[in-house]
Structure 1
Amino acid sequence: MKPDYQKVLAAISEGDVVSLLQDLVRIPSVYSPDEPGRNEERVADYVAAFLRNMGVEVHVEEVAPGRPNVIGIVRGTRPGPCLLLEAHSDVVTPGNPAGWTHAPFGAEIVGRRLYGRGACDTKNGITSAVMAVKGVLESGVDFPGSIMLAIPVDEEGMMLGIKHFIEQGWADSVDAALICEPEDNRICVAQKGAMRVLVHVKGKQAHGCMPFAGVNPNTRMAKFILEVAAYEQQEVQRLGRHPYLGVPSLTPTVVKAPAEGEGQLNVLPADCLVAYDIRTVSGQNHEQIYKDLQGIARRLEDADPEKARIELEWIEDRPVTATALEEPIVQAVAAAYRLLTGREPVYDGVPGATDGTFLSAWKNIPVVVTGSGVREVPHQYDEWVDIDQLLETTRLYALAILEFLNGAGAAHY
């Protein structure tokens, strides 16, 4: 291993890495409109102060009230490419605290696991990105180009933070991006696309003992759901299994009747609402999928003697992304992984979308998604991250920075 790389690794301390992650997990950053103190602002303030103490140029930009993005910039000694490391500051709700064995925001360590909401998604990503850059700076090694850190809000929502980051021009100078998400340190070079579609069936309210005086929206929605399930299987058969992304899915995740207010056992509701979480792979066209869903709705309407209306609304669109194995960022991360572990990396895909989706789709930036954490653990009770893997990720990011700026990325600059 090169002496400069050894210097950087020597500058990364387990105690400092774990301490930072504990501090971040202990700051709740669940976006709660009715509880401003629980949104991303406190974490953003902490990270911004931490970066300033490292000597990093820091910019804080409010995306919405109490929801600031943090951007950090470290400039090298000569011109070169710009590498972005990105990890979001928001976390999902812990749910019922009684479901947790460990306090959701306690950052408790048991054995070699650190527990808490965000420990795996993605306070660990923030920690590894920040501490990797700190290791580079404290080692005093020379590098060209620049390192950019982005800690945006709302990745768990509508991804307002990364969209604002792009709209403000920050992505214009970025040559490649490393998205810090829990992927067991696999090198993920593809991400599933995502569509969010609302389906609204309008019936006629009636007394539960006289249902035929009304028009039942629930039975009609059930027919729609079954038709979409059959369509899903057709798409799976048509496309087969993607090598990195698996199979597509169209999942009804929310079913609500009536669409507004509370239902009652003896009241046939006037309407029914279903929210679909649709995940796509290469070879699918989102516009065509929406047209196909509309076609299912029209067929059911035409076959309905009472002509109950079925209305669709497409509320979010996130395209499939793919990064070629030949891209400098992929080569840099792979080389760093080999140097660090002595093993060949595992290439994979992300089953969901990340902030990297919009960097790729809107700005054509090559992205790699990798980081510590078992991908099935986020959003569960007793979320955790393995401390040894957290340290491996921090060192991986540090070496990937140097590999990209000095090697693979510089050659294409």
Structure 2
Amino acid sequence: MNYFNESQSLEVLRKLISFNTVGNNEEDVAHYIQELLAKYDIKSQIIDVHGNRANLVAEIGHGQPVLGLTGHMDVVDPGNLEAWNTNPFELTEKNGTLYGRGVCDMKSGLAAMIIAMIELHKQGLPKQGTIRLLACMSEEIGEVGSHYLLEDGLMNDVDGLIVGEPAGYNIFYSEKGSMDIKVTSKGKTSHSSMPEFGYNAIDALMNFLIEANNNFRSNPIKQGSMGPLVFNTTTIKGGTQVNSIPDYAEADVNVRTIPEYTNQQVIDVLNQMVTKFNKTGAQIGFDVYMNEKPVGVAKDNILVELTHDLMKKYTDDKILVVPNPGITDASNLVQGKSHDFPFIIAGPGNLTSHKVNEEMDKQMYFNYIDIYEELTVKFLSRVVADVKVE
């Protein structure tokens, strides 16, 4: 018996979309989720971080094993509102497609997890083991919420983790790391007609970034299943006016790291470059303001196997089991877990994340409620059975 019909399931998603959580206001979402769960006798805890930003933790079942379900409550800025065909903070349906900011990334995944937990709880499930929902703040900028949950010890006893980020009917079993780095260059200003009396901070920065590109893009860096390390300068600025030699310039760099070339190796190379450039008169420095490591677990883990079997009900297409090209809260939550830790990224969605007119197939949303409901119970039963055999 389903306690939520399709209309009620859409209402949960509609409510989540209505909260403007562009870098704020996750506490409002957490209170809504808490009130919704409480209607079905599911207790939850809101963990304040700062301001109107908070995480939420809820559980059903009891004891070991523990399966974690996680999703984030924030979204990215919708951008140019005139380019949207609908109000981004109002769930809109057209011909079986749902539109709204976060409908793909990833409020539909979060809603599906919440509804699946309610459905299971009303059925008296799970019989053994615990399902723990970890709803995170600030995933889109720095994975801050999941860092706090890790520090709070909420992953210590978790035996498997499902991240509800959009994957469609595919499964991600690992992900690259991600580093955000600000590179600065100091110089000395002078009149542009007499550059010999100054030091051009932009020139030094450009030369540094060009050499960094050569180091990280041209060298034959060993790579495995996650593919190559990716190094990109994404913002750059400097100078104050056209006829003055600039005394300051800066750039932001994003690096996607792999197990074969770690975050620390990137830092070590940049430090070597800084030393080299500064010996020639430059004043280069850098600050790593996001530093998330790659997540690499076994491709043949239990969650991959079970999810692959369940997805066959909903698609005739080949189900890809591949590394995730992006980064999720798993970069924090899976820290310290073994290589055989059961972990997947699987959630409703497509490639419209972060785009104007973000959209998702309505039926996929409903299907994922069923997938999470079945998957959680099957995982806990499988782990319990394996322990008994041992």
Structure 2-normalised TM-score?
0.92
Q: Quick one: which amino acid aligns to residue 359 of structure 1?
A: L
Which of the numbers 369, 372, 375 marks the counterpart of 1:394?
Answer: 369
Q: How does 1:305-316 map to 2 (within 5 A)?
A: 307-316=281-290
2:10 is aligned to 18
Residue 303 of structure 2 is aligned to residue 329 of structure 1:
yes
- The partner residue of 1:130 within 114, 117, 121 is 114
Partner residue of 2:229? 248
Stretch moving more, 203-212 or 50-59: 203-212
- In 2 relative to 1, CA 72–141 (structure 1 residues): closer, same or farther, beyond 3 Å? closer
159, 171, 180: which one aligns with 1:175 = 159
Query: Structure 1, residues 246-270: CA drift from partner, whole Å, max 9, x if none?
Result: 3221111121215xxxx33333321
- Secondary structure of the residue aligned to 1:255 is strand
CA drift of 1:318 comes to 1.1
Equivalence map 1:1-400=2 (5 Å): 10-11=2-3, 13-32=5-24, 39-76=25-62, 79-141=63-125, 143-235=127-219, 237-240=220-223, 242-243=224-225, 245-258=226-239, 263-302=240-279, 304=280, 307-338=281-312, 341=315, 345-364=319-338, 366-374=342-350, 376-400=351-375
The more displaced of 292-301 and 377-386 is 292-301
Give the Cα–Cα distance (whole angstroms) in 2 for the partners of residues 214 and 323 of structure 1. 52
Answer 1 or 2: which has greater helix percent. 1
CA–CA distance in 1 between the matches of 2:81 and 2:241?
29
| Per-residue CA distance 1:290-326 (angstroms, 9 max, x = gap) | 1112222333334x4xx02111222222111122134
Moved >6 Å (runs of 4+): none
The answer for unaligned runs of 5 or more in structure 2 is none
In 2: Cα distance, 1:293 partner to 1:330 partner: 37
Counterpart of 1:291 in structure 2: which amino acid? Answer: D
Superposed displacement of residue 233, structure 1: 2.0
List alignment gaps of at least 5 residues for structure 1.
Answer: 1-6, 33-38
Q: Give 1:329 shift.
A: 2.5
**Whole-Å Cα distance in 2 between the matches of residues 54 and 246 of structure 1?**
45
**2:17 and 2:103 in contact (8 A); partners too:** yes
Q: Could you tell me the TM-score, scaled by structure 1's length?
A: 0.87
Question: 1:96 is aligned with what amino acid?
Answer: N
Letter of the structure 1 residue corresponding to residue 236 of structure 2: V
The code of the aligned residue for 2:227 comes to G
Secondary structure of 1:28's counterpart equals coil
Separation (CA, whole Å) in 2 of partners of 1:344 and 1:412: 32
* Distance in 2 between residues matched to 1:141 and 1:366, nearest whole Å: 21
CA offsets 1:147-179 (integer angstroms, 9 cap, x no match): 111111111122221111122222222111101
Q: In the comparison of the two structures, how many residue pairs are matched?
A: 386
How far does residue 12 in structure 1 lie from its aligned partner after superposition?
A: 5.2
Aligned residues: CA RMSD: 2.2
Please tell me the residue identity of whatever aligns with 2:228. Answer: V
Say if 1:409 and 1:97 are closer, same or farther in 2 by CA, change over 3 A. farther
Quick one: distance in 1 between partners of 2:49 and 2:251? 29
2:185–2:248: 8 Å Cα contact kept in structure 1? Answer: yes
Q: 1:142 to 1:81 in 2, by over 3 A?
A: closer
